[in-house]
Structure 1
């Protein structure tokens, strides 16, 4: 069994094998994620009942909560991938970490914007220097810092290591985001979903929220596979198999353009 685990680990750490196996996964995960997200958002925005205190303004949670959850999960994933790359020197881990940065920036930005849209009718202000909101802003800045490191350092290996160290240092911000509503007095409401407690919302609101979270996560995985595949081709251009894949992609683009003309 141990040999099988080691063999599987080494197989998944191979850029070539990951590139080949991830293509069908990215397609099906993308289709499933898009479908579930569409159902959840239409259900949540159009058919879920009004909230007793917040009215219709609460409906932003069907976008805000999944994006906030995902922005934190992506950062943890980047930190874990960075640690794997630093400890075991696995190139693919660095490729995945870099590919996830842009997606993390997007989710953190969406979480902050939708939070502001929610905050205006709920608190009467677009922005307050609340501990939860401020720590989410710090998360966005950490993502931007990771992106800046990769663009500022020309040598890819050095950029990977620097970004991994920053990600590991910055991961301390995640517990702050998570527990900030419990540590200090805050405008932000307590966590809606808890593993140890029943959700304080009607099932007609809870189901589309859970579906939206699932749809966001599946869509993220699909996009991560696609971005990682592109990163692999960019980094492995000297490998014969990568050159062959690039040639096939170029031929497919040229062929499709020829048909269009």
Structure 2
């Protein structure tokens, strides 16, 4: 375990390791998203109450799950960076924030579109909706805070602290429908209880969830690799790699 953490602290090792993992996650993401989209949008039966408007669940739920998961991942990365000073953790948190903000916006927007035919309104100051909006502001705050400091380390520490404090909003999002009276329905799909939907409806949702997560991992690996090259541009191994792309010194030494 400690040996792995030690290796994880090496940008050169992570760059080489992620090069091997990235294609597999891209392939899995494309396959799962294509199968899940076709199944959910074309072949799953219409809901007996909401009709075909329920099909937005195949975008809304994965986006909402991912928005929360990314913020938790950023908080963990911030903790690792603050405690063990692992630069790759901070690089990963840096590239995850914009994608998390996009997923939060997609969740809010798709929820608003879904709310018009279902609730008769696109927005209510509902506990679930409001806490998701706060999550979007937290993402924007983390991104802005990083660029507000002239020294990168200061910005990284400030963003890590904000992320670790802001993660308290995640259980509020999850349990808001249980703690308060809200317009938002309770979860129709959880990892700990039997789905309330028929199999032909929830199975494509699971596939879409897995596809969204594989896409997130793939794009995080890709963007972290770019961030490593940007931050480590003065290092010899990066200069050699950029001078001769066919000579993957980093990949060879990471084996």
TM-score band w.r.t. shorter chain: over 0.9
Q: Which residue does the alignment assign to 2:182?
A: 186
* Equivalent position to 1:241, from 237, 240, 247: 237
Q: What is the CA–CA distance in structure 2 between the aligned matches of 1:63 and 1:221, rounded to whole Å? A: 17
- Displacement after TM superposition at 1:224 (Å): 0.3
For structure 2, list consecutive stretches of 5 or more residues without a partner in the other structure: 248-255
Q: How does 1:1-261 map to 2 (within 5 A)?
A: 5-248=1-244
- Displacement after TM superposition at 1:250 (Å): 11
Q: What is the CA–CA distance in structure 1 between the aligned matches of 2:60 and 2:246, rounded to whole Å? A: 38
Cα displacement string for residues 188-214 of structure 1 (whole angstroms, at most 9, x for unaligned residues): 010112233210000000110000000
Which sits farther off after the overlay, 185-194 or 203-212?
Answer: 185-194
- Displacement after TM superposition at 1:249 (Å): 5.2
- Displacement after TM superposition at 1:13 (Å): 2.0
SS of residue paired to 1:200: coil
Report the aligned-residue RMSD: 1.4
Contact residue 188 and residue 196 of structure 2 kept, 8 A: yes
Cα displacement string for residues 42-79 of structure 1 (whole angstroms, at most 9, x for unaligned residues): 11011100001111111000000000000000000000
Q: What is the CA–CA distance in structure 1 between the aligned matches of 2:133 and 2:150, rounded to whole Å? A: 27
- After TM superposition, what 4+ stretches of structure 1 lie above 4 angstroms from structure 2? none
Which TM-score applies when normalising by structure 1? 0.92
Q: What is the CA–CA distance in structure 2 between the aligned matches of 1:149 and 1:27, rounded to whole Å? A: 32
Q: What is the CA–CA distance in structure 2 between the aligned matches of 1:108 and 1:93, rounded to whole Å? A: 22
The number of aligned residues is 247
Contact residue 135 and residue 169 of structure 2 kept, 8 A: yes
SS of residue paired to 1:49: coil
Q: What is the CA–CA distance in structure 2 between the aligned matches of 1:231 and 1:109, rounded to whole Å? A: 24
